[in-house]
Structure 1
Amino acid sequence: MSQSDTRRNLGLALLGSEITIVFRRRRNQAMLLALAAVPILIAVAVRLSSNTSGRGPAFLASISENGLFVALTALTVSIPLFLPLTVGVVAGDTIAGEANLGTLRYLLISPAGRLRLLLVKYAGAAAFCLAATAIVVIAGVAIGAALFPVRPVTLLSGDTIDGAEYAVRCLLLIAYVSMSMLGLSAIGLFLSTLTTVPVGAMAATIVLSAASQILDVLPQLAWLHPWLFSHYWLGIADLLTSPISFDSFQSNALLQLGYIAVFGTLAYGRFATKDVLS
């Protein structure tokens, strides 16, 4: 076996180990369960309520007529707060958590190298983004189908789609929202290289998420809005029209890639020169 094959196998083994650790960690499992509880609480509240009119998140008023709207409602509720909160915790823990446990230097002794370790840590955080988004949608569909009638879904454009097309839209929504969290994950990775206290990196990542969303609603900073990593988070409405508009999807992808590139570079620059003592 060549040296390149050995390194590739080592990298795959390290990636598999990281993803296993991410999803076996009790804290992360608890956060996934909390995310799954969001659509369940929404569905139960609507089921027990005699009035769903008035103010509320998008699609809330349609749940009692069609249970498939539970997933869409839960997603719009989770995007501003619950998803960034959980993603910030996982991303902030990537490097700082290992340093805090005293295992970081042992990871660096292996031939994986610092760059590969960073990539693996980021990949683990990205996998959590995907799982966190998917569990909101899946739990929403399941509880919606259990408590309410299931009918063809009327889109924002007024067109009606069947269950198969709805499933395709759900996959697109999961991809869109997961991608939206990747820029925040890159920021958390960078912050995690700055400290050996994971709680500090987690808190800073979550605070930056909230700050970005606050800045995004200030009209005086309209020039800044397109550059904020949270600007396109709620662009999922474009995926709920017929025909589908991918404008927000493309703009969001470019924006998140920019944040990944910038903060990934900063993370490597910091991590490559960092003296690892624990």
Structure 2
Amino acid sequence: MPAEHETEVTTAAPGSPVTNTRPSSSWSLMASELSVLFRRLRTWAMLLALAAIPLLIAAAVKLSSHPVAPGRGPPFLDRITQNGLFVGVTAMIVSVPLFLPLTIGVVAGDTIAGEANLGTLRYLLVAPAGRVRLLLIKYASAATFCLAATLTVAAAGALAGVALFPVGPVTLLSGDTIGVGESVVRSLLIAAYIAVSLLGLSAIGLAISTFTDVPVGAMAATIVLSVVSQVADNLPQLEWLHPWLFSHYWLGFADLLRQPISWTSFGDNALLQAGYIVAAGALAYGKFTSKDVLS
């Protein structure tokens, strides 16, 4: 049995029936899954690539001989030289359309298809982990990566901003000024908002992963769907469809940069992602529970 996922099975003496086969606890399976995910070089390579984005932005602004004109480049780019705390926010905005969905697509698309491709899926079910519980644990693992990826961008941006630029009170979009401590809290709220935004995509990747034994195909399909959703969200001819697209609220965290904070966009985003989680989860459940697992 592969050592990647530890299970708890009671064996019997030769020639006698098995008297007890007890599945591992959900917590031990979850811990094993997270351990496997974060021990992979691919996972760390993706996190390092995400961390490089704010470092690149900070270095480019620092080394530039001309100040960034207001309105040029990504939002808040022109404010970085005055306050390094904007490096993390700018980096998260830059990462949302492509880089974060790309890494999420890789992790989510690999959840079930990766196990099938390696020949370990049937062992997880024989253990037995149970198909429904395995789906839940795989999704929880992908959701954890969503948070880890977003926090990586935010943390690398904060460190680069503090190291290369002055740090001080932040002026919000509403015109109010807040201190450094509250600014850090707002940055963490934005990271949480983006992590929640990616939960629907993770569920879609999990569902696609149950339909194939080729993880690369599931990864590619998930990433393509994220691009298609964003393209459709920018077509005025499809305005009626925009509120139903899982990417519609990805950049809607402006309310978190106002005083007082309005939680309307956060709630709308969470509700939309929850709908996709339920729909994609039902699709994954229907396919996976009736699937013949041969590998």
Compute the displacement of 1:59 (Å). 0.3
Give ranges in structure 1 of 5+ residues lacking alignment: 1-5
What is the distance in 1 between the residues matched to 2:184 and 2:76? 17
Give the alignment of 1:16-165 within 5 angstroms: 16-51=31-66, 52-53=68-69, 55-165=72-182
1:3 maps to which residue?
A: none
1:129, distance to aligned residue in structure 2 (A): 0.2
Deviations 1:29-79 (A, max 9, x none): 100000000000000000000221252000000001111100010010001
Task: Tell me the CA shift for residue 220 of structure 1.
Answer: 0.8
In structure 2, runs of 5+ residues without a counterpart are 1-20
* Alpha-carbon distance, 1:111 to partner: 2.7
1:260 counterpart = 2:277: yes
Establish whether residue 231 from structure 1 lines up as the match of residue 248 from structure 2.
yes
Deviates more, 1:47-56 or 1:157-166: 47-56
Question: Which residue in the other structure is 1:193 paired with?
Answer: 210
- 1:7 offset after TM fit, Å? 7.4
Tell me how large the CA RMSD over aligned residues is. Answer: 1.2
Shift of 1:171: 1.9
> Equivalent residue of 2:36, what SS?
helix
Shift, 1:15, TM fit:
0.4
How far did 1:277 drift? Answer: 0.6
> Greater helix share, 1 or 2?
1
State how far apart, in whole Å, the 1-side matches of 2:23 and 2:163 are.
45
Quote the offset at 1:158 in angstroms: 1.0
Please say which structure displays the higher CA radius of gyration. Answer: 2
Q: CA deviation at 1:9?
A: 5.8
Residue 171 of structure 1 is matched in structure 2 by 188
1:66–1:151 Cα contact (<8 Å) kept: yes
Q: In 1, Cα distance between the equivalents of 2:178 and 2:283?
A: 45
Contact 1:7 1:112 in 2 (8 A): no
CA distance in 2, matches of 1:9, 1:22: 18
Question: In the comparison of the two structures, how many residue pairs are matched?
Answer: 273
CA contact 1:169–1:240 (8 Å) conserved in 2: yes
Distance in 2 between the 1:50 and 1:8 partners?
A: 62
Pairwise CA distance, 1:145? 0.4
Structure 1 ranges of 4+ moved more than 4 A: 6-9
Alignment partners' CA distance in 2, 1:120 and 1:224: 32
Residue 58 of structure 1 aligns to a residue in which SS?
coil
Q: In 1, are the aligned partners of 2:23 and 2:128 still within 8 Å (CA)?
A: no
- Cα distance 1:7–1:210, how it changes in 2: closer, same or farther (>3 A)? farther
Which amino acid in structure 2 is aligned with residue 239 of structure 1?
L
- Is residue 216–residue 222 contact of structure 1 (8 Å, CA) maintained in 2? yes
User: Aligned partners of 1:195 and 1:15: how far apart in 2?
Assistant: 23
In the alignment, residue 106 of structure 1 is paired with which amino acid?
Y
- Alignment of 1:213 with 2:234, yes or no, is no
User: 1:130 touches 1:175 (CA, 8 Å); kept in 2?
Assistant: yes
TM-score with structure 1 length normalisation?
0.96
The 8 Å contact of residues 255 and 263 in structure 2, kept in 1 or not, is answered as: yes
How big is the shift at 1:170? 1.7
Q: In 1, Cα distance between the equivalents of 2:243 and 2:97? A: 17
1:164-199 CA distances to partner (integer Å, 9 max, x unpaired)? 111211221121110000000000000000000000
Q: Assess if the C-alpha contact under 8 Å between 2:229 and 2:245 holds in 1.
A: yes
Which letter does structure 2 place at the counterpart of 1:124?
S
